């Protein structure tokens, strides 16, 4: 059992271990993991010696119901770095409880990733952000109103196998050194990036205007419906986390048309080559700076 599996609660560990054993038996291993959000999945075209397994074939995994999320795990080499990539993710609003939602993220950690890049499509809250801008995530506010890690981790006080609520909290879920490395790589690739705070809402409805006002007053720069639970879990399991948001729309103001998932995906499609370029440029540093 890897050291990270030992951090999971009894209730969860066997399920995660089954998937890890299945994947490790098929040669899935790597140094850097990537979770690719809405419309950003084409990074997998850059992977050499790629092998892929649909989520539905992995023990315990659910297939994602979100359009544009392919739903497969891919491993291989990108920019000389062994990677394991989640092409598509599950979302809280798909109605799954956190144990189902976060299983693929726990598996990524337990396959031995040293760092994981979490990407997403997000609405801009910062008035300076424009559609197709990128933002390196420096911190997050998880507005799902309950801790997604409840019952998933072993009692930190050491009582064997009991899952209790209190676990070391994610004071800094995002790794500053890797965030700087990602921003520097983006600059080298000629892609300017913002750095800011990501707010994660439950979804699937987009925010009401009062919620947008609230988030802005809380100094959030971008808003989406994913990422925060994954980042908290990865951090709790000792994985270094770096986040990248693709701003697909400005937060809606009065008079703007309704935002649709299609709008989000269309902007994602426009910038996904740029995102792939940034990730490829950054990958060697994301591994090299792993302690
Ligand atoms: N809000 C929440 N999630 C999103 C948005 C948004 O405006 N855009 C893309 N994902």
> Ligand 1, residues 207, 214, 226, 265: which to mutate, most atoms within 8 A of Cβ?
207
Q: What is the pLDDT of residue 165?
A: 47
The whole-number pLDDT of residue 271 equals: 86
> Among 218, 136, 134, 137, which Cα is nearest to 173's?
137
pTM score, whole prediction: 0.92
Kindly give the pairing relationship between strand 81-87 and strand 72-78: antiparallel
Average model confidence (pLDDT) for the chain? 88
92 lines ligand 1 (CB under 6 A): no
Three-state secondary-structure class, residue 166? coil
Q: Which pLDDT does position 169 carry in this prediction?
A: 58
- Residue 98 has a pLDDT of 86
**pLDDT tens for each residue of 244-262:** 999 988 876 655 667 777 7
Q: Which atom of ligand 1 is nearest to the CA of 225?
A: 3
CB 79 within 8 A of CB 125: no
The string of DSSP codes covering 176-244 is HHHHHHHHHHHHHTT--EEEEEEEE---SSPPPHHHHHHHHHTT--EEESSSHHHHHHHHHTT-EEEEE
Q: How many residues does the chain have?
A: 291
Determine the pLDDT at residue 159: 53
123 C-alpha vs ligand 1 centroid, how far in Å? 4
- Residue 270 token pair: 């426009």
**pLDDT tens column, 58-68:** 999 988 666 65
Helices vs strands, H then E, count in the chain: 7, 9
User: Which of 66, 69, 121 most suits a substitution to test ligand 1, by most atoms within 8 Å of the C-beta?
Assistant: 121
Residue nearest to atom 7 of ligand 1 (CA): 123
Q: Ligand 1: which atom is nearest the Cα of residue 251? A: 7
Give the span between the Cα atoms of 248 and 133, in whole angstroms. Answer: 8
Q: What is the Cα–Cα distance from 8 to 99, expressed in whole angstroms?
A: 11
C-alpha pair distances (Å), 2 with each of 8, 9, 51, 202: 11, 14, 23, 32
Regions of the chain with pLDDT less than 70: 1, 64-69, 155-170, 252-257, 288-291
The minimum-distance atom of ligand 1 relative to the CA of 120 is 10
Six-digit token pair at 105? 């993220």
Domains of the chain: 2-289 (3.40.50.1580)
């Amino acid at each position: 059992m890897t050291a990270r599996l030992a951090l999971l609660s009894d209730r969860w560990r066997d399920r995660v271990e089954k998937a890890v054993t299945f994947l490790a038996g098929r040669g899935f291993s790597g140094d850097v993991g990537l979770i690719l959000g809405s419309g950003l999945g084409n990074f997998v075209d850059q992977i050499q010696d790629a092998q892929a397994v649909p989520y539905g074939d992995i023990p315990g995994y659910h297939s994602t119901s979100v359009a544009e999320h392919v739903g497969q795990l891919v491993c291989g080499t990108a920019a000389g770095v062994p990677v394991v990539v989640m092409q598509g993710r599950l979302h809280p609003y798909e109605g799954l409880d956190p144990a189902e939602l976060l299983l693929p993220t726990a598996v990524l950690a337990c396959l031995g990733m040293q760092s994981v890049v979490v990407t997403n499509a997000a609405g801009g809250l910062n008035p300076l952000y424009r559609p197709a801008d990128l933002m390196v995530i420096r911190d997050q506010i998880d507005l799902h109103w309950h801790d997604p890690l409840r019952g998933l981790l072993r009692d930190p006080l050491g009582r064997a196998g009991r899952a209790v609520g209190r676990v070391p909290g994610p004071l800094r879920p995002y790794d500053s050194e890797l965030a700087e490395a990602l921003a520097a790589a983006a600059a080298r690739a000629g892609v300017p990036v913002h750095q800011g705070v990501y707010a994660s809402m439950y979804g699937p409805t987009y925010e009401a205007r009062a919620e947008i006002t609230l988030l802005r007053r809380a100094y959030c720069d971008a808003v989406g419906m994913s990422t925060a639970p994954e980042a908290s879990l990865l951090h709790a399991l000792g994985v270094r986390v770096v986040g990248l948001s693709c701003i697909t729309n400005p937060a809606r103001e009065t008079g703007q048309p309704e935002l649709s998932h299609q709008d989000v995906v269309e902007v994602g499609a426009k910038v996904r080559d740029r995102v792939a370029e940034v990730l490829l440029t950054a990958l060697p540093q994301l591994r090299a700076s792993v302690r």
